[in-house]
């Protein structure tokens, strides 16, 4: 049941960098259990409003219950944030004063044994955020070639033993459950390595591939900056290095403006800076937060402000 208490990560920091003001319009692109959304709605009183998106219909249902007291100030839509611009226009949230993306998998999703995100319990190899998607993790594991699987696990999981894991997966097919896959990975790498489970990176890679997370992130970042008012804020919380590098590079390019090759003596593209980076040093959870919520330990927050 996906309605346990949801603990939002870097809550105070996210609200502070969004610079939430009374009467403002804000968009939470991954509303999840509604933790960040609730804080934004409370801080934006009186008259503030929030548009919450989530690809997971179960997350929307949980958020709807937890934000019910805010009435029409909270608008929730079951859509992927790759469609941010269209949803914002349809719901009259363009322009917006702030946009938040809290990336990665939530505790609510990870702890739901039927979703197939975790290697801690037996479940179908699914990993879809939305059942409207057709491709599952089982489809990828059982249909891709050994080379394709190795490249995918290396690219999205940053797994140095990806080729060995891919070879063992192909030799063990068909695979249908999370524990089947996890045990294959354990055999491939020879048991536990360090503090993380041997299957962590492989499961991460499959989840990213199933939900096209990186492609959707690039699309959402571009759209988010477009729909902000001048001086509007974009805040992104990421949980692994691929996401963080994408966010860092996007904000750096938008703050730089010019995208001409370094070999050119002068700018010919004419592109002007569109943002000012607010987080010169990356923001991470405090020691106290990391102790209270261990899943927050890998969180990284970056923020920028749209230029006029």
Query: What distance in Å separates the CA atoms of residue 172 and residue 165, rounded to the nearest whole number?
Result: 11
Strand order in the sheet with 228-238: 74-77, 49-53, 25-28, 96-102, 228-238, 300-306, 275-277
- CATH classification of 11-108+213-306 is 3.40.50.150, yes or no? yes
Q: Which two tokens stand for residue 127?
A: 């990993």
Task: Identify the CATH number of the domain defined by range 114-211.
Answer: 1.10.150.170
| pLDDT tens per residue across span 269-280 | 888 999 999 998
pLDDT at 110: 66
pLDDT at 140: 98
pLDDT at 163: 98
In which band, very low, low, confident or very high, does the pLDDT at 206 lie, cut at 50, 70 and 90?
A: very high
pLDDT at 2 over 70: no
Q: Which residue has the tokens 């009259």?
A: 92
pLDDT at 5 over 70: no
Kind plus residue range of the DSSP H or E element containing 101:
strand 96-102
In which band, very low, low, confident or very high, does the pLDDT at 3 lie, cut at 50, 70 and 90?
A: very low
pLDDT at 111: 65
pLDDT at 145 over 70: yes
pLDDT at 118: 85
Query: What distance in Å separates the CA atoms of residue 272 and residue 260, rounded to the nearest whole number?
Result: 12
In which band, very low, low, confident or very high, does the pLDDT at 6 lie, cut at 50, 70 and 90?
A: low
| pLDDT tens per residue across span 63-120 | 999 999 999 999 999 999 999 999 999 999 999 999 999 997 766 666 677 788 888 8
| pLDDT tens per residue across span 46-61 | 999 999 999 999 899 9
- Are 184 and 175 contacting, i.e. CB atoms less than 8 angstroms apart? yes
In which band, very low, low, confident or very high, does the pLDDT at 259 lie, cut at 50, 70 and 90?
A: confident
Mean pLDDT of the chain, nearest integer: 92
Domains 11-108+213-306 and 114-211 share a fold: no
The domain segmentation of the chain, as residue ranges, is: 11-108+213-306, 114-211
Residue among 128, 146, 145 at smallest CA distance from 137:
128
Helix, strand, or coil (residue 235): strand
In which band, very low, low, confident or very high, does the pLDDT at 264 lie, cut at 50, 70 and 90?
A: confident
């Amino acid at each position: 049941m996906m309605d346990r208490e949801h603990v939002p990560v870097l809550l105070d920091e996210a609200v502070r960098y969004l610079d939430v003001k009374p009467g403002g319009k804000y968009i939470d692109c991954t509303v999840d259990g509604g933790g960040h959304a609730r804080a934004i709605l409370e801080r934006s009183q009186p008259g503030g409003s929030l548009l919450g998106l989530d690809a997971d219909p179960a997350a929307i249902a949980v958020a709807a219950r937890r934000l019910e007291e805010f009435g029409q100030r909270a608008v929730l839509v079951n859509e992927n944030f790759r469609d941010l611009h269209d949803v914002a226009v349809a719901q009259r949230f363009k322009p917006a004063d702030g946009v938040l993306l809290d990336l990665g998998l939530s505790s609510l999703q990870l702890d739901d044994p039927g979703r197939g995100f975790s290697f801690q319990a037996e479940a179908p190899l699914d990993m879809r955020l939305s059942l409207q998607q057709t491709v599952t993790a089982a489809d990828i594991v059982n249909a891709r070639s050994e080379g394709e699987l190795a490249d995918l696990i290396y690219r999205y999981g940053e797994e140095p033993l990806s080729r060995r894991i891919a070879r063992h997966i192909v030799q063990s097919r068909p695979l249908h459950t999370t524990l089947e896959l996890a045990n294959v990975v354990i055999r491939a790498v020879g048991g536990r390595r360090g503090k993380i489970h041997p299957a962590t990176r492989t499961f991460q890679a499959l989840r990213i591939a199933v939900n096209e997370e990186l492609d959707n992130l690039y699309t959402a970042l571009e759209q988010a900056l477009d729909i902000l008012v001048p001086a509007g804020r974009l805040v992104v919380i990421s949980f692994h290095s691929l996401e963080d590098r994408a966010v860092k590079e996007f904000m750096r390019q938008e703050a730089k403006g010019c995208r001409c090759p370094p070999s050119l003596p002068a700018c010919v593209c004419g592109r002007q800076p569109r943002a000012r980076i607010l987080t010169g040093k990356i923001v991470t959870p405090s020691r106290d937060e990391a102790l209270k919520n261990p899943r927050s330990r890998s969180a990284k927050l970056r923020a920028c402000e749209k230029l006029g």
